[in-house]
Chain A
Amino acid sequence: MQKMIFKNKNRITLISGILIIIAFISHFGFKNELLFELLLIIASILGVLPIAIQAYQSLRVKVVSIDVLVTIAVIGAFLIQEYEESAIVTFLFLFGAYLEHRTLNKTRSAIKELISLAPETALKLMDTGGFEEVEIEDVDVNDILLVKTGSKVPVDGKVITGEGYVNQASITGESFPVHKLIGSMVFAGTILENGTLQIQADRVGEDTTFGKIIELVEEAQDSKSDAERFIDRFSKYYTPVVLLLALIVWLISRNIELAITILVLGCPGALVIGVPVSHVAGIGNGASHGILFKGSEVIQDFSKVDTIVFDKTGTLTIGNPEVSEVIAYTDNQEDVLTYLLSIEKESDHPLSKAIIQFVGERKVVDVNKTDVVKGGGIRAQIDGLDILVGNHSLMKRENVQLSQSMLEDIDRLEMKGNTIVLVSINRELQLLLGIKDQIRPNVKEDLIKLRKMGVKKLILLSGDNQTTVEIVAKELNLTDAYGNMLPEDKAHFIEQLKKKGEIVAFVGDGVNDSPSIALAHIGIAMGSGTDVAIETSNVVLMNSNFSRLVHALGLTKATTSNMIQNIVIAIGVVLFLLFNVFFSEWMNMSIGMLVHEGSILVVIMNGMRLLNYKLRR
């Protein structure tokens, strides 16, 4: 019986709506008062059933829910023979609930879409030797799975046979297909665009990178901010208070109609739903733009940020140094490059990578002896030649003579933000290389936007030398820049800023910067959703697109103000209704319920606007 009523709630709503319409037609059209009252009585009884059952259920678990208030009000109206009121109020309440259900689903749609990317089945190698389609829950670590063209990779695992191109947009935000060969890692939720793979499962279900992302977003949308916790506690006591208030009004005024009107007006609907709606829409918008917020608290903190601290390499710059300029002081450049490559191949310095890449494939010669000179470079011997590869101070120390024009070249390249590498043979300078890490495209414009949004200080911290750091800072017009910083120095620096009362965000690439990311009020990890990044940070920018940061900040500000709007609407409506019930003639239960349900829809619609939030260019 109960189940049937719940199942047919929508039908009940519809029927009671139709009954009310017929009732009014017979009232105004045919002046048939008996039919009018009879139809309204049926509509009231039908409509109050599902509400009353829910009220009873909630009282059983000691919760005074809105249903309780409405049920009492309707029964009261019924007893004083206000059938018109009782019928309309139940209908509006049910219809409102139906609309809320529909619109709320909309606000949650962005996150639902993300979840729908999760794989549900897999082709698993069975004991019989064939592949069979199984539920994703039935896949265990080390199972062998077949992935066909166009299907989703079901787990995190390693390719054991075959090759193909995989679109990893769901994990990295980067939709350019990645080539996967035997031994490559593949990730759950990514899509095999062509080829066929057999993979061995490493991590399954919630342990996969994608599973963690989903869990994170799901937890985030239901994590509660202080404001929400307050409203929760508030609404727990609010409904009983309304009940009590109505009772007192009735005892004093002996006016049942006034008392039950207060019951209806006092429903806290818009207030309790307004804040969560803003949050879920905001977090949903973020998720569909590759920004993961770890909870509602983060949104509020981030919207108030006044200092953003950046790591340099990999954050502001691409993190892949390249040789930008070469000047030769010899006719024998080819031999020098061969020597240089032979020496650099033995080093694992980041600059060596850039040089090896620049010189390209060529035959190497035997290096007889190499010494690493700390803070300087490398000294090597090839075929009896004494070769130095390193910075300016190494050349000075080794008494390599530099002409005036050579010194001018060095200055010029340094001013452009290059790190200088010099090569000399037998104390004569042969080659000058300028190596530069490119600043990410559009970073400058993005930083200007961040300032416009109210960020006061932009600070750069880097392990790189002070000159390079300052050049980047100058080019990007940063507030401050500090070089030669170890990870613990950065963390210490963040702590100092926090002590000064600033709200600090730290943006880094997630692995070596994790102490700072954890310490800052808002730790932001840029990168491709690595485990460390997901765990220590508050915000994850899914692919390394810097402009996401601007979107993220704008979104938190929009979400926070949306939330405030909703609170204002909700409280405003309750005050308006209560005022009118005492000081106006036209207020009654039906109008109260109409305004009330209307305000709930208004806050949901208002929250929904956040789903379409985009940065104005």
Chain B
Amino acid sequence: MQKAVIQLDTLTCPSCALKIEGAIKSLDGINKESVSVLFNSSKVKVEFDESIVNVDVIGQAISKLGYDVLKTNVK
């Protein structure tokens, strides 16, 4: 399991957070429990199985919804 912190451009509506959460959870290899979208700090925290999915795929899933990914940090 790896843990990623993804910084997004400012989120403006709480339902955006719901959308992003839904999109990430629908990917394979994601620890669904761990997904948290922080509305005010516009950050996503997520744990994932690096043998199935990587942080770029997660980032793409988010930017496909129309939210810019500014910075990702994996450890």
Contact = CB atoms under 8 A, between A and B. Distances in A.
B18 to A, nearest CB: 5
A66 B18 CA distance: 12
A269 B14 CA distance: 9
Contact of A105 (B10, B14, B65, B73): B10
Given A6-B66, A57-B65, A63-B22, A108 B40 contact: yes
Contact of A104 (B12, B22, B23, B43): B12
A377 to B, nearest CB: 56
Contacts of A239: 15
A235 B14 contact: yes
B41 A273 contact: no
A428 interface: no
B66 A236 contact: no
A65 B15 contact: yes
A65 B40 contact: no
A218 B43 CA distance: 9
A163 B61 CA distance: 50
Nearest to B18: A63
A108 B8 CA distance: 14
A269 B12 CA distance: 10
A438 B65 CA distance: 60
A276 B39 contact: yes
A275 B24 CA distance: 25
A225 B15 CA distance: 17
B52 interface: no
B25 to A, nearest CB: 8
B38 interface: yes
Contacts of B65: 54, 57-58
B41 A57 contact: no
Contact of A221 (B23, B41, B64, B66): B41
A456 B16 CA distance: 43
A605 to B, nearest CB: 15
A113 B15 CA distance: 26
Contacts of A108: 10, 40-41
A132 interface: no
Contacts of B18: 58, 63, 65, 236
A111 B41 CA distance: 9
A97 interface: yes
The 6 tightest CB contacts between A and B, nearest first, are: A61-B22, A222-B38, A221-B40, A65-B15, A6-B66, A280-B40
19 contacts: A54-B19, A58-B22, A58-B65, A60-B23, A61-B19, A66-B13, A97-B13, A101-B10, A104-B12, A108-B10, A108-B41, A111-B40, A218-B41, A222-B38, A222-B40, A236-B18, A276-B39, A279-B40, A280-B40
